[in-house]
Amino acid sequence: MADPERHPFLQGLSKHRGTPPTVVVIFGASGDLTARKLIPAIYNLGFDNLLPADFHLVGYGRKPIPDEEFRSIASNAIKEYSRRELDAEAWNRVGANTTYVSGAYDEKAGFDRLAAHIGEIERRVGGEVQTLFYISTPPSVFNPIIQNLGASGLGSRHLGKPHHSKVIIEKPFGRDLESARALNAELRSVFDESQVYRIDHYLGKETVQDLLVQRFANSIFEPIWNRNYIDNVQITVAEDQGVGTRAGYYEQSGCLRDMIQNHTTQLLALTAMEPPGSFDAEALRNEKVKVLKAIEPIALGPESDAARAQYVAGMTGGKGVPGYLQESGISPESSTETFAAMRLSVNNWRWNGVPFYIRSGKRLARRVSEIAIQFKRPPGTIFAQKDGFNLAANTLSFQIQPDEGLSMILNAKIPGLDTRTQPVKMSFRYATTFGSNTPEAYERLVLDAMTGDGTLFIRGDEAETSWKLYTPVLEFWQSQGRGGMEAYQAGSWGPAGADRLLAARGHVWRKP
């Protein structure tokens, strides 16, 4: 934990946001996401005294697990994955009220047992409790869980009251526009939209939230955040790992579904949206939807605004790695893209003529996520390149991961008797200023859901608008099979097709 004396900016920043007595039910309690993210997030909220005094954690899954064994599984997950070491006193406050209910996802009887268990918790608490259902399962069981939450009455608990039941649902929110609409219809059949929290963990990252602060709390940025001053925007979400053990999932998903439609597009919406009238959740989400609706359809065919590729064998971290088609569980005829890049145009007054370049992929040169705002170059009347001056375009970059912070590229004079220039970088890093033990994204998002703050969650119409943009691309690629599929070497920054998207407008990808 950061020392306030060493990091004085931390003083006074911790604020307890009280929540009513709450039961968090995790469906898929024995899954990887629960162990790596959810249980550590809840533990750290407890460590920071941000959980209500009457807080209960209930795991639900097919496999029968005794309460004591589930507590042991949870404590081991904290030891392995938490940003803090396991503190006995902090864990006891959470672990004492941690239980488990077994049952199938497609049988109402298990949900009736869960309802009885929550009712017993209420009797012990001596009053009504808020229930937060976290669906951390494969998409194949989303619908039966939602249906049985409705059939058992769990979805309508204390409806109309401030502590009504809520549901958090993990991505993917469908596979295309049709399935996204069907999932939303299923959710609406049980829950009101105000009860639904569609989670994209990228929105809980500190730098993503800081993007809003930089734009709207600093008067030096917003006046120039438009087509008059910005030349292009580049958004990169790069992974240096391959598919690993996720071949079964990834073959059904691909890069566009896995990263572009959600994480990358969320970053674009926050970058391009108009200032909301307030920091109210609906005001902010309204502006995000407006931006997505303003994006022009993506050109396909010979003059395509989209590129896709698969990685082939190469070097990563000094070691040789196989290509995608040689990975375990991948068909040698696979047409699943491991890289996707697109040139998007936002057809509104602020952004007309400014290209937004987005890319994401596996087995790239390094793991990094960033938003880079490249400003127009100044007129070359004084410091012209032909006169030997080395000038770079001013670029403001927000690094989302792994080294959270932001930097600005400026041009400066090199000391000496001659007038020579050189680009320099001004940087701010969260770890340096605030300490390295910043909260994980899931901590913020779980707390927001408990307190009823939907600002960092995705609304149903927003998910559908995003799928409306990308579904034609998916359908076109599917119709082409492996036609048009490029290759890129593992450890590189992607295929030539991604470079051509920028070269057509006189731009090049920056190296994060």
Catalytic residues: 263
E strands present in 136-217: 166-170, 196-199
| Helices 265-272 and 206-216, axial angle in degrees (round to 10) | 20
Query: In the 8-state DSSP scheme, what is residue 221?
Result: T
In this structure, the strands spanning 196-199 and 319-321 are unpaired
Q: How many CB atoms lie within 10 A of CB 401?
A: 17
Query: In the 8-state DSSP scheme, what is residue 381?
Result: T
Angle at 290 between CA 286 and CA 293, to 5 degrees: 135
Q: Which long-range contacts does 150-157 make (Cβ < 8 Å, 24+ apart)?
A: 150/189, 150/190, 151/108, 151/111, 152/108, 152/111, 152/112, 152/114, 152/115, 153/115, 154/111, 154/114, 154/115, 154/118, 155/190, 155/191, 155/195, 156/190, 157/118, 157/131
How much helix, strand and coil, in percent to the nearest 5, is found in the chain? 40, 20, 40
Q: Which residues, 6 or more positions from 285, have their beta carbon under 8 angstroms from its beta carbon?
A: 454, 455, 458, 459, 462
Query: In the 8-state DSSP scheme, what is residue 459?
Result: -
